[in-house]
Amino acid sequence: MRLALAQMQVESGAVVANRRRAEAAIADAAARGADLVALPEIFNVGYFAFDAYQRAAESIDGETLTAIADCASEHDIGVLAGSVVEDLATTAERTNVETPANEGLANTSVLFDRDGDRLAVYRKHHLFGYDSAEAEMLVPGESLGIAEFEEATVGMTTCYDLRFPELYRDIAEAGANLILVPSAWPYPRVEHWQLLPRTRAVENQLFVCAINGSGDFEDASLLGRSTVYDPWGTTLASTGDDPDLVVTDIDLGRVERVREEFPAWRDRRL
């Protein structure tokens, strides 16, 4: 499988411009032969643009996600639209998709197949409270985000979730061989950004791909460094802090081969 991580520039509050950048990144990934491309956390409005959350919130069949679904179909590529600010009340009213509450906002990622059909919805479980308004403004998710995409069983988490290994073990137990982690990880916590996804890959013996944005906000700068880690925790592809498209081929059969060679997964005591 050829995988692309779209480390796009995210401009604070600029929903239309950010959406166009996302669409351009999807087209670029498809042109480079990617089967699946992942976008960063709250790519349409910007994670740190808290004052724009209510204005930019939409349902999972709203303008942004519909445009991304159409783009996936147009370019024949799977897309993780990770993530947008979801208006739960509108989703509950307009769709048959289960929501964690009948009102409020959520940090929501959606996985689309090559036809633009929705495969899975994931709402961020762990809301960031450290110097952030996210925990005050949003409703946490309750269900795992996992779906089959061609030969991959894809798990979905978001940014701060990386600090909670129990979630990743649950996803691995559910059969995932690839976990995608859309993020808006800022300076100065570079070491944590490099340590945590690698650790989640090693302890679960699967692929973990951390997709960050690029750009400056009033109180934060995203540090980029989107990276693909294999089941040994080895870096397969990475980039710096500027906008970029990380593209690499991954052998999903390697998950089972690594688990057979070094049987930590089998040796767990549950």
Give the catalytic positions in this structure: 41, 124, 159
Residue environment code for 165-202, b if the CB has 16+ CB neighbours within 10 A, otherwise e: eebbeebbeeebbbbbbbbbbbeeeeeebbebbbbbbb
Give residue 46's Cα distance to chain centre.
Answer: 14
Spatial separation of the C-alpha atoms in residues 146 and 185, rounded to whole Å: 23
Phi/psi for 51 (5° steps) reads -70, -10
Cite the DSSP H helix spans in the chain: 15-31, 53-56, 63-75, 88-94, 134-137, 165-173, 190-204, 254-261
């036809």: which residue's tokens? Answer: 115
